[in-house]
Copies of this chain bind each other. A is one copy, B any other.
Amino acid sequence: MDLFGMLDELSHGLANLSMFPYFEMAHYVVSVMALREQPGALEVSRVSPLACWFSSMLYCFGGAVLSGIMLAEPPVAPLSNSTGVLLASIVWYLVFYCPMDAVYSCAALQPLRLVLSGMKEVTRTWKVLGGVTQAHSKYKDSLLVMIAIGWARGAGGGLISNFEQLVRGVWKPETNELLKMSYPTKITLMGAVLFALQQTHYLPLQKHHLMLIYTIFIVVNKSRMMLTGSSSSPFASVESALYRTLFSGHSPYAALTGDLKKPRCDNGTTKESSENGSTSPVTGQGSSLKAKDGSENSENTKKIN
């Protein structure tokens, strides 16, 4: 009883916590450092500071931009938050161009980085919740929209990574966050689902309690992963179980050979799909080569569309 009262106090305290400026700041620092550690990012920062700045802004405000686009709200809106942009720009400048690289060197120290990453995770809760409530105000009873917007707001930087990379002149079509979800994207999706369920009262929990639980979970988890250096998701087992039960109705090879025997209304596809079918699109080179072969018969397949 007393313990619960204490937790209730704590959750209320957390819910009233202001993200600005410290947590926002931590978010900017960690995001810009993540960009800097992308292959080739340092070269871009020399070749074109503007492209580098724009990339950094996409890392810092990607979620707001993406959810804005999805709700048909101006994607430039984040730029109108002058203070935020100014802070992020200062961080960007210090991380990339600080004399003797002092700032990055310090922030990259394990203990400091641990704290910053923890604080960044806290902002995630606020972003996801913000997205869900924003969607709820527009689409009262659509769970899917709430989840989508909450997810976009919380993991935007990752979801638009293909286009963020394009700004830096890098193009990796063979992979994206939907094909190969990274840990933060997964955890954000989970959060979006939980908060959407809470918002629609399917989840019998009070908002500030859920915020406390979710925040503690992601912070602890993040710290664990950083300390152990392991990239194993906490629910890998659940995932694989789900996967095995739901998505392994029949082996792809059975299906492929099946394709060959099946009657088909559009000639050409059969041969093609059995050929290309065996190249996993995740191994980009392969698929992009096949793409060229397949380009003319994509006409055939599209005829069905």
Which A residues contact B (CB, under 8 angstroms)?
Answer: 30-31, 33-34, 37-40, 42-51, 54, 59, 68-76, 79-80, 82, 85, 96-101, 104-105, 108-110, 113-114, 117, 135, 138-139, 142-145, 148-149, 157-158, 161-162, 166-184, 225-226, 229, 231, 243, 246-250, 252, 254-256, 258-259, 262-267, 269, 272-273, 275-282, 284-285, 287-288, 290-292, 294-295, 298-305
Shortest Cβ distance from A178 into B: residue: B51
Shortest Cβ distance from A50 into B: residue: B178
Min CB distance, A129 to chain B, in Å?
A: 18
Shortest Cβ distance from A49 into B: residue: B247
Q: Are A149's CB and B76's CB within 8 A?
A: yes
Shortest Cβ distance from A158 into B: residue: B305
Q: Given that A291-B172, A301-B37, A302-B158 are contacting pairs, would A144 and B80 also be in contact in the complex, using a CB cutoff of 8 Å?
A: yes
- Please indicate the chain B residues that have their CB under 8 angstroms from the CB of A248 in the complex: 97
Q: Are B48's CB and A142's CB within 8 A?
A: no
- Please indicate the chain B residues that have their CB under 8 angstroms from the CB of A158 in the complex: 302, 305
Q: Are B179's CB and A38's CB within 8 A?
A: no
Min CB distance, A275 to chain B, in Å?
A: 8
Q: Specify which of B139, B172, B263 is in contact with A109 (CB 8 Å cutoff).
A: B263
Min CB distance, A28 to chain B, in Å?
A: 12
A229 to B288, CA, bound (A): 28
Q: Are A183's CB and B303's CB within 8 A?
A: yes
Q: Are A182's CB and B303's CB within 8 A?
A: yes
Min CB distance, A258 to chain B, in Å?
A: 6
Report how many copies the assembly holds: 3
Shortest Cβ distance from A71 into B: residue: B74
- Please indicate the chain B residues that have their CB under 8 angstroms from the CB of A231 in the complex: 266, 299-300, 303
Q: Are A31's CB and B305's CB within 8 A?
A: yes
The residue among A169, A179, A264 with the most chain B CB atoms within 10 A of its own CB is A169
Q: Specify which of B105, B175, B275 is in contact with A262 (CB 8 Å cutoff).
A: B105
Q: Are B110's CB and A290's CB within 8 A?
A: no
Q: Are A169's CB and B175's CB within 8 A?
A: yes
A104 to B121, CA, bound (A): 43
Q: Specify which of B48, B72, B273, B292 is in contact with A284 (CB 8 Å cutoff).
A: B292
- Please indicate the chain B residues that have their CB under 8 angstroms from the CB of A277 in the complex: 39-40, 42-43
- Please indicate the chain B residues that have their CB under 8 angstroms from the CB of A142 in the complex: 79-80, 82
Q: Are B184's CB and A99's CB within 8 A?
A: no
- Please indicate the chain B residues that have their CB under 8 angstroms from the CB of A265 in the complex: 110, 113-114, 117, 226, 229
- Please indicate the chain B residues that have their CB under 8 angstroms from the CB of A263 in the complex: 108-110
A97 to B171, CA, bound (A): 31
Q: Are B295's CB and A174's CB within 8 A?
A: yes
